[in-house]
Amino acid sequence: MDERIIELEIRLTHVEDTLDVLNQAIIDQHRIIDRLQLQISILEKKLKAAASSNIAHESEETPPPHY
């Protein structure tokens, strides 16, 4: 009986260690996702700013004088 309890305690310890490792992986992934979302937001703002700049679209440009 004692041997079975010891075996169960060992298994429980391994399960707890695995759970801690998986929990840390989730925390790390959450940080990465947050950082990526911020980067996407910054890129979207830059794209919107570039689209609304004073640069004319190619179809709106007048051809050069040698045409």
Query: Which residue type occupies 53?
Result: S
Q: What is the pLDDT of residues 23-63, one digit of tens each?
A: 999 999 999 999 999 999 999 999 998 887 666 677 777 77
Q: How far is CA 18 from CA 4, 9, 30, 47, in A?
A: 21, 14, 18, 43
Q: Does the predicted model carry a pTM greater than 0.75?
A: no
Q: What is the pLDDT of residue 16?
A: 98
Q: Look at residue 64 and give its three-state secondary structure.
A: coil
Q: What is the pLDDT of residue 12?
A: 98
Count CB neighbours of 4 within 10 A: 8
